Chains A and B, each alone.
Chain A
Amino acid sequence: AQSVSQHNHHVILSEAASLELGCNYSYGGTVNLFWYVQYPGQHLQLLLKYFSGDPLVKGIKGFEAEFIKSKFSFNLRKPSVQWSDTAEYFCAVNRRSASKIIFGSGTRLSIRP
């Protein structure tokens, strides 16, 4: 079955620590890739996206993600997290041949001040 896997359900870091959240998907073919974030009490919003071109994409708030096609991965990174990054992060994928976006189960990120 088609799926998106996020390896970490809950990550706890101290401020200024580096972050990497894993995401793997199981589709073949051409895909669009997304990371969405949900801050406490807010709606889902786009953090960054990959459609084509440079596999290293920059998003808002200093986040970046790297698409590695051979590994079917799209890991999210940030060199130095802040307390305000406390949120839930969702990796999402859609095949170019299909309309629906498939989400992972989410990773809850808690930052200790």
Chain B
Amino acid sequence: EAGVTQFPSHSVIEKGQTVTLRCDPISGHDNLYWYRRVMGKEIKFLLHFVKESKQDESGMPNNRFLAERTGGTYSTLKVQPAELEDSGVYFCASRPQFSWENTEAFFGQGTRLTVV
């Protein structure tokens, strides 16, 4: 069974440009999460999808970030326009059931974003 996959693995863009990150969760997983880790700090929650609906987007930093999950399968996270402080590693995770009471999250390898 394929794990959570993220694309690209690395991205270097200039300030002001747009970048789109993609996450393919494990097939059949309703729950999809985006996280970010900046410069060795904590892995910070960004948002949570249940199928195609945003369940919790309380961690999104500002309106330059837009996440979508059309059709409830893969998800994209777009940053437009990118700023220097957006640099970091963006992780995606998925969880197999709507109920989170007895399941863990499975993580992708992350996308390292560098804004210069």
Nearest chain B residue, comparing its CB with the CB of A36: B107
Q: Is the CB of B104 within 8 A of A90?
A: no
Other 9 A-B pairs with CB < 8 A, given A46-B106, A103-B44: A4-B42, A44-B43, A96-B100, A99-B50, A99-B56, A100-B48, A100-B59, A101-B33, A106-B40
Q: Is the CB of A34 within 8 A of B104?
A: yes
Interface residues on B, range: 20 to 34
- Is A71 part of the contact surface with B, judged by Cβ < 8 Å? no
Contacts A32-B100, A43-B110, A44-B91: A101 and B42 contacting too (C-beta < 8 A)?
Answer: no
- Interface residues of B, Cβ cutoff 8 Å to A: 3-4, 31, 33, 35, 40-45, 48, 50, 55-56, 58-59, 91, 93, 100-102, 104-110
Q: Which residues of B contact A43 (CB under 8 A)?
A: 3-4, 107-110
Q: Is the CB of A101 within 8 A of B105?
A: yes
Provide a sorted-by-A list of 27 A–B residue pairs whose CB atoms are within 8 angstroms. A32-B100, A34-B104, A43-B3, A43-B4, A43-B107, A43-B108, A43-B109, A43-B110, A51-B102, A90-B43, A92-B43, A98-B56, A99-B48, A99-B55, A100-B33, A100-B45, A100-B58, A100-B59, A101-B33, A101-B45, A102-B45, A103-B35, A103-B43, A105-B40, A105-B42, A106-B40, A106-B42
In the complex, the number of residue pairs spanning A and B with C-beta atoms less than 8 Å apart equals 58
Q: Is the CB of A106 within 8 A of B43?
A: yes
- Is A104 part of the contact surface with B, judged by Cβ < 8 Å? yes
- Interface residues of A, Cβ cutoff 8 Å to B: 4, 32, 34, 36, 42-46, 49, 51, 90, 92, 94, 96, 98-106
- Cα distance A109–B33 in the bound complex, in angstroms: 26
Q: Which residues of B contact A96 (CB under 8 A)?
A: 100-101
